Amino acid sequence: MLFRSMVLEFAGLIRRPLLRHAGTDEQLPAAGTVVRLRLPGEDMTALDPTRSIDPLERDEPPSRLALALGWLAPASEVDLFAERHGHRRHIVRGGDWRTISAERLVARVTGVARLRLRAEQRELIAQQLCAIEQDGEVVGRAALTPADTYAWDRVMGALVVGGLRAAACEGLAGLLLGKDPNVARTQARPVATRATLTNWVEEQARLLGERELPLDDALLVAITVAACGADTGTLPICISEQGPLDGPRLRRWAAERTDRPIYLFDPDEAEDVTRDVADDIAPTNDVLVVTSWTMPPTWWENAEGDQDGQSLKERCLTLLRNAWGGLKTIDDLRGPQRMGSSKFGEVESRNYQAVMAGEVDAI
């Protein structure tokens, strides 16, 4: 019954809302609700997008209306249109985030018309981005990115509540569904639990481990994977004189050294060796270079669950303990202590150069 269509009109805060009968061109052809937002122009600077909604850099709304709609509501369950000078454009189809191509989804979340990525990056996102399921429902669609948050021009991941963007997600491309937002809708908790996210991260690690990633990228991914309590698989977790070692290779490396001291060097704890210098130093036969630096992603830390993560250093110690059997706790590993047939030392920064030069056998 078309004559019953009504319009509830808001004009900002300058006057009270107005409830009126719909005009001829406003009548709805069927029962339902349509929400229209009239802007003074296509340029979204009218809404002051210079202030970033999210504290992360490079994550502010785009200036073009069509891109801003997708950026603000990447997982809308209702259709979104942009209309200018009588031309209407379909921006988001309700629920289409589950089915559109990986590249389109990431471009929408990033707020660009087209992703400016290298061919291998575009291929990686297409292969890695997958649905995250929990209790038979899709609670996200994302790919773990093999680079830090800002390495690919812009933040490409978002936490979405009620279809609307609530916060950026570092270290991934795509989106996660969220719940329990704060009043400002700048923070929320993922619907996926830590257990669900850890399983997804583990699968992402397996897929990334099959690719020939640059060492820096592979180590960054491994740091994220370990911080989420997932198995790092074939991703490198430390560096030996033989080159990068993943978990299985580290166990074999340790099995060959049950009769002599083994040393760890952590460039993040060194006081007299800068990080840049330490990154370029080649380990000697019985020294492993491994970082203790860790930063669990916010989306994993805020998820429900009691799973704990590890740093790569803790991961290495766990694998060594399992490989040797005679080791006790991580605290027991400090200093050159004999445990069964193994002796384990942790290289201090002041002794690092001497160990590297082969001037000392033990610390």
User: What confidence score (pLDDT) does residue 202 get?
Assistant: 96
Given a cut of 80, is residue 285 above it in pLDDT?
no
Span 106-111, mean pLDDT? 88
* Whole-number Cα distances in Å, 155 to 39, 45, 150, 178: 26, 20, 6, 17
Confidence of residue 324 (pLDDT cuts 50, 70, 90): confident
The rounded mean pLDDT for the chain is 77
User: What confidence score (pLDDT) does residue 154 get?
Assistant: 57
pTM of the predicted model as reported, rounded to 2 decimal places: 0.76
CB-based contact 282:198 (threshold 8 Å)? no
Beta bridge partners of 8: 19
Q: What is the pLDDT of residues 158-193, one digit of tens each?
A: 999 999 999 989 889 999 999 999 888 888 999 999
Given a cut of 50, is residue 351 above it in pLDDT?
no
Rounded Cα–Cα distance for residues 82 and 89 (Å) = 5
Rounded Cα–Cα distance for residues 240 and 282 (Å) = 8
Going by DSSP bridges, is the β-strand pair 172-179/164-168 parallel, antiparallel, or unpaired?
A: unpaired
Name residue 224's amino acid. T
Name residue 121's amino acid. Q
Given a cut of 70, is residue 44 above it in pLDDT?
no
Of residues 52 and 112, more confidently modeled: 112
Span 117-140, mean pLDDT? 88
DSSP letters of 138-168?
Answer: EEEEEEE-SS-TTTTSS--EEEEETTEEEEE
Q: Please write down the long-range contacts of 231-234, taking CB distance under 8 Å and 24 or more positions apart.
A: 231/202, 231/205, 232/205, 232/312, 232/315, 233/202, 233/205, 233/206, 233/209, 234/206, 234/209, 234/210
Phi, psi at residue 355, to the nearest 5°? Answer: -65, -45
Name residue 180's amino acid. D
User: What confidence score (pLDDT) does residue 32 get?
Assistant: 80
Q: Where are the domains of the chain?
A: 2-97, 213-363
Given a cut of 50, is residue 2 above it in pLDDT?
no
Percentages helix, strand, coil for the chain, rounded to the nearest 5? 30, 20, 45
DSSP secondary structure code for residue 323 in this structure: H
Q: Which of 131-140, 141-150, 282-291 has the highest mean pLDDT?
A: 131-140
Q: What is the pLDDT of residues 75-84, one digit of tens each?
A: 999 999 888 7
Span 260-275, mean pLDDT? 61
